[in-house]
């Protein structure tokens, strides 16, 4: 469909959110009337979501902005089983306590993107443990299981991949798609849900749910998936030096989050501006035209806008300012991570090696020595050449800190207390 009528599909299409849909015309008609009730499921496998999930959160955001109702489904029940999709090994089975903990962590992030409440277009958050946990095995087999063909299940990518590679697919995992399909039916019945969205790896699970809905007599259900993002050079999105790009601030600071977006590859800037900011399309078009070193301006806009969505405008601008000072002036930015040391210890002099280990910039004394040999460590922007160097109060800057750097991008301030 070249020109969707609904604002929702209009936006998703022009911003590059759509990978695959079941019946685009039908979804368009519902969206135009503000009658979409859509959900995305999030399993509680980690204490926070990461940028990989952001694209689906943005879809929910636009859905609500265009007058439809979003539902976030917490997989409190399905996480107990574990989704085999796209995995070549069985997930470790998490304890119920962990799952609860993760659920709380993950839930926090949605307030930034959605407005929750009881009104018609307000977002809802539900937990599939509410209906999955009390299920009775025999009843479930009779009511739901009879609608599934093992032949077909075996042919689905999530199962096929394991079978083809002769890797274990345990029975518990094999059941995951039944539960996710059943979720869709349950949400359709309880809340009138009529659309499930997710990453393209979820397509199989989603259409299985649609199919189950038809067999179990719900209204017509729909599917819409977004592309799984990789960077232009093919890497999976969401990894940095220090691990995943978490959305919760206690897992990844606003400054580091800003830096993540700032370091976007040139070829990705336009695509990411469309997906991860709410800037108007004509503004994005302008930024996309920038070339050469000017692309950096677009990356800064991307970083600030994306960070503002998640952490608020104030923190985004503070991060931008710190980055400006740190990288463009070589000065000391306020937002850099600070590590405190006892003033007395510093007065007595501490070895550079210990200082860098304490700051967490290197993992061990040996690594510190190696990095010094390789010229990777700096104190107050001056390379360290001697691993026996001692730091003391004479190294303190006017701001009463010592700036430790590893490479060009990682900096920590050492402050005496």
Partner RNA sequence: GGAGGAGUGCCCGAGUGGCUAAAGGGGACGGGCUGUAAACCCGUUGACUUCGGUCUACGUUGGUUCGAAUCCAACCUCCUCCA
Q: Which residues bind RNA (CB under 7 A)?
A: 166, 168, 232-233, 235, 239-241, 259, 262-266, 292-293, 295-296, 299, 323-324, 326-328, 353, 363-367, 369-371, 374-376, 387, 406-410
Farthest CA pair distance, the chain: 77
Sort strands 37-43 and 382-383 into parallel, antiparallel or unpaired.
Answer: unpaired
3 or 388: CB nearest RNA = 388
Closest Cα to residue 44, out of 55, 33, 53, 34?
53
Report the phi/psi class of residue 230: left, alpha or beta, with left for phi > 0 and alpha for psi in -120 to 50.
beta
What's the min distance (Å) between Cβ of 375 and RNA?
5
Q: Cβ(137)–Cβ(84) under 8 Å?
A: no
Closest Cα to residue 187, out of 212, 156, 158?
212
What's the min distance (Å) between Cβ of 298 and RNA?
8
What's the min distance (Å) between Cβ of 158 and RNA?
18
Find the DSSP H helices in 85-197.
96-107, 129-132, 137-143, 150-155, 157-164, 171-174, 176-191
62 or 272: CB nearest RNA = 272
What's the min distance (Å) between Cβ of 169 and RNA?
9
Closest Cα to residue 307, out of 261, 239, 246, 269?
261
Residue 172 C-beta-side C-alpha neighbours within 13 Å: 11
What's the min distance (Å) between Cβ of 391 and RNA?
16
The CA radius of gyration of the chain, in Å to the nearest whole number, is: 25
36 or 169: CB nearest RNA = 169
What's the min distance (Å) between Cβ of 46 and RNA?
18
Sort strands 243-244 and 382-383 into parallel, antiparallel or unpaired.
Answer: unpaired
232 or 338: CB nearest RNA = 232
Distance from C-alpha of 327 to C-alpha of 215, rounded to nearest angstrom: 60
230 or 397: CB nearest RNA = 230
138 or 241: CB nearest RNA = 241
What's the min distance (Å) between Cβ of 256 and RNA?
11
- Residue 353 DSSP code: H
Place of tokens 């299940």: 153
67 or 407: CB nearest RNA = 407
150 or 363: CB nearest RNA = 363
Q: Cβ(197)–Cβ(207) under 8 Å?
A: no
Q: Cβ(185)–Cβ(209) under 8 Å?
A: yes
What's the min distance (Å) between Cβ of 241 and RNA?
3
103 or 274: CB nearest RNA = 274
What's the min distance (Å) between Cβ of 357 and RNA?
7
Closest Cα to residue 106, out of 165, 145, 57, 68?
57
Give Cα 374 distance to the centre of its chain. 34
């Amino acid at each position: 469909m070249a020109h969707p009528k609904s604002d929702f599909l209009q936006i998703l299409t022009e911003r590059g959110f759509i990978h695959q849909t079941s019946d685009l015309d039908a979804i368009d008609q519902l969206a135009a009337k503000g009658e979409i009730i859509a959900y995305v499921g999030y399993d509680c496998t980690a204490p926070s979501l990461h940028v990989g999930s952001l694209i689906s959160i943005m879809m929910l955001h636009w859905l609500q902005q265009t007058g439809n109702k979003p539902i976030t489904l917490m997989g409190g029940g399905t996480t107990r089983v574990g989704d085999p999709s796209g995995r070549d090994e069985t997930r470790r089975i998490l304890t119920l306590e962990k799952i609860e903990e993760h659920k709380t962590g993950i839930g926090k992030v949605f307030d930034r993107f959605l407005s929750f409440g009881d009104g018609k277009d307000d977002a809802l958050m539900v937990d599939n443990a509410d209906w999955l946990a009390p299920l009775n095995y025999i009843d479930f087999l009779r009511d739901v299981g009879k609608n599934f063909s093992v032949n077909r299940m075996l042919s689905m990518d999530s199962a096929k991949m394991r079978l083809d590679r002769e890797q274990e697919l345990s029975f518990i995992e094999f059941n995951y798609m039944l539960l996710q399909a059943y979720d869709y039916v349950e949400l359709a019945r309880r809340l009138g849900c009529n659309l499930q969205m997710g990453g393209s790896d979820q397509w199989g699970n989603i259409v299985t749910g649609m199919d189950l809905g038809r067999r179990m007599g719900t209204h017509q259900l729909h599917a819409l998936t977004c592309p799984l993002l990789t960077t232009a050079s093919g890497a999976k999105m969401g990894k940095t030096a220090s691990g995943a790009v978490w959305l919760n601030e206690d897992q990844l600071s606003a400054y580091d989050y800003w830096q993540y977006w700032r370091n976007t590859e040139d070829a990705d800037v336009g695509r990411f501006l469309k997906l991860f900011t709410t800037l108007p399309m004509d503004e994005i078009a302008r930024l996309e035209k920038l070339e050469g070193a000017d692309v950096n301006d677009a990356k800064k806009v991307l970083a600030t806008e994306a960070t503002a969505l998640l952490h608020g405008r104030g923190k985004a601008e503070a991060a931008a300012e710190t980055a400006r000072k740190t990288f463009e002036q070589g000065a000391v930015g306020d937002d850099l991570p600070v590590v405190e040391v006892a003033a007395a210890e510093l007065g007595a002099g501490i070895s550079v090696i210990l200082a860098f280990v304490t700051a967490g910039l290197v993992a061990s004394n040996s690594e510190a020595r190696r990095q010094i040999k390789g010229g990777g460590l700096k104190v107050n922007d001056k390379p360290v050449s001697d691993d026996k160097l001692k730091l003391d109060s004479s190294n303190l800057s006017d701001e009463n800190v010592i700036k430790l750097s590893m490479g060009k991008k990682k900096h920590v301030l050492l402050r005496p207390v």
